[in-house]
């Protein structure tokens, strides 16, 4: 086996290992999407003092497979009054930003000579925000294509909400890169790999708080779920959808939750590092590399639990409160944080 690999050219080896990493990252993402839905249903049941899904397979572990089969086999119904091209296009776009952003997330250190990142871009964060900004088109197109008042209102809310909080989210991470001295996400993790208190959540708590709040708004999660507010809009932008198209919107929501969690782990919580056990150095062995990936995924799972807990504990913001928080609270605080960090760095190096 090793002889066969050694006989390949450098370009062929690069293509082979990149393909393997792409398949592995996509498989992990889709598996997490499936099972975080199950986790949310069980947490919701616990909060509401009931059992939740526990019939399909041992402990209900096959419930995601049953849900997937149900989504594919349900009747595909397209209302006559919709704008069909946009109607079919919108759910397909919903899942794409999270999948594309997998490329720059460093989900591990190294296994052998292979870095556990698909594309180690020097402008990784710019790529991430550029792709994330495309996510709004899915909901806006769905609201417009449905040709109905509730989806249209959901699409309008979403466009205003996501544009508002993208600005605060983008500004909140500037101090992080001022401290790390690089826009490369792997370099940001390397900056934090010198002990627990080198994690940027301790150096930039305000930036983390703003990023966390903006992440809830960008993923349309409670308390910022105004685009789909069931009590007001009966589901908002997804009212007219059924079958797999309906499922794609929710797959996109959970995939974006995973991406947002992965970004917070990367930017503020040391990525794959774990200083207490000496797992803060670049690994080369298979065991060390897999341990780093497991640490990264464990941290991501903790943030996913936070997303779920907040949904079932907090009430929804009013629309005016949503806009006020984004423009009159988060934005000035993010700008002030940039100025203070820049002045402090200038003073320290003077």
- Distance, CA of 159 to CA of 123 (rounded, Å): 26
Contacts of 41 (CB under 8 A, 6+ apart): 52, 53, 63
Residue 223 — left, alpha, or beta (φ > 0 → left; ψ -120 to 50 → alpha)?
alpha
Residues 36-72 as b or e (16 or more Cβ within 10 Å = b): bbbebbbbeeeeeeeebbeeeeeebeebbeebbeebe
Q: Predicted confidence band at 126 (pLDDT cuts at 50, 70, 90)? A: confident
pTM for this prediction:
0.91
CA distance 143 to 90: 9
- In the block, residue with structure tokens 């349309």: 220
More confident residue, 342 or 91: 342
pLDDT over 90 (residue 55): no
pLDDT in tens, 276-326: 766 667 766 778 788 888 999 999 999 999 999 998 888 888 888 888 998
* Residue 227 pLDDT greater than 80, yes or no: no
Instruction: Answer whether residue 1 shows pLDDT above 60.
Output: no
Q: In which band, very low, low, confident or very high, does the pLDDT at 330 lie, cut at 50, 70 and 90?
A: very high
């Amino acid at each position: 086996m090793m002889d066969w690999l050694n006989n390949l050219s450098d370009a062929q080896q690069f293509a082979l290992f990149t393909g393997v990493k792409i398949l592995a990252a996509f498989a992990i993402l889709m598996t997490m999407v499936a099972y975080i839905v199950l986790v949310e249903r069980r947490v919701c049941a616990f909060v509401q003092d009931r059992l939740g899904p526990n019939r399909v397979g041992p402990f209900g572990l096959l419930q995601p497979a049953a849900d997937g089969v149900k989504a594919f086999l349900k009747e595909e119904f397209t209302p006559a009054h919709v704008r069909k091209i946009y109607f079919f296009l919108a759910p397909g776009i919903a899942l794409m930003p999270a999948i594309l952003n997998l490329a720059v997330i460093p989900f591990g250190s190294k296994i052998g000579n292979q870095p556990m990142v698909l594309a180690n871009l020097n402008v990784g964060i710019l790529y991430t925000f550029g792709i994330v900004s495309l996510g709004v088109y899915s909901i806006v197109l769905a609201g417009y294509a449905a040709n109905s008042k509730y989806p249209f209102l959901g699409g309008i809310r979403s466009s205003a909400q996501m544009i508002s909080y993208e600005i605060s989210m983008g500004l909140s991470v500037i101090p992080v890169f001022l401290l790390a001295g690089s826009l490369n996400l792997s370099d940001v993790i390397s900056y934090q790999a010198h002990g627990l208190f080198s994690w940027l959540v301790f150096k930039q708590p305000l930036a983390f708080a703003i990023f966390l709040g903006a992440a809830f708004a960008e993923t349309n999660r409670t308390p910022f779920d105004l685009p789909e507010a069931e009590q007001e809009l009966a589901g908002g932008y997804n009212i007219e959808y059924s079958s797999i198209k309906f499922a794609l919107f929710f797959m996109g929501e959970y995939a974006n939750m995973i991406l947002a969690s992965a970004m917070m782990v990367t930017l503020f919580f040391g990525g794959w590092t774990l200083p207490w056990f000496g797992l803060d150095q670049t690994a080369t062995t298979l065991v060390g590399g897999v341990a780093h990936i497991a640490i990264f995924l464990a941290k991501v799972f903790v943030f996913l639990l936070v997303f779920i807990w907040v949904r079932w504990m907090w009430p929804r913001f009013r629309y005016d409160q949503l806009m006020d928080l984004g423009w009159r609270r988060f934005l000035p605080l993010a700008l002030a944080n940039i100025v203070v960090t820049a002045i402090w760095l200038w003073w320290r190096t003077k």
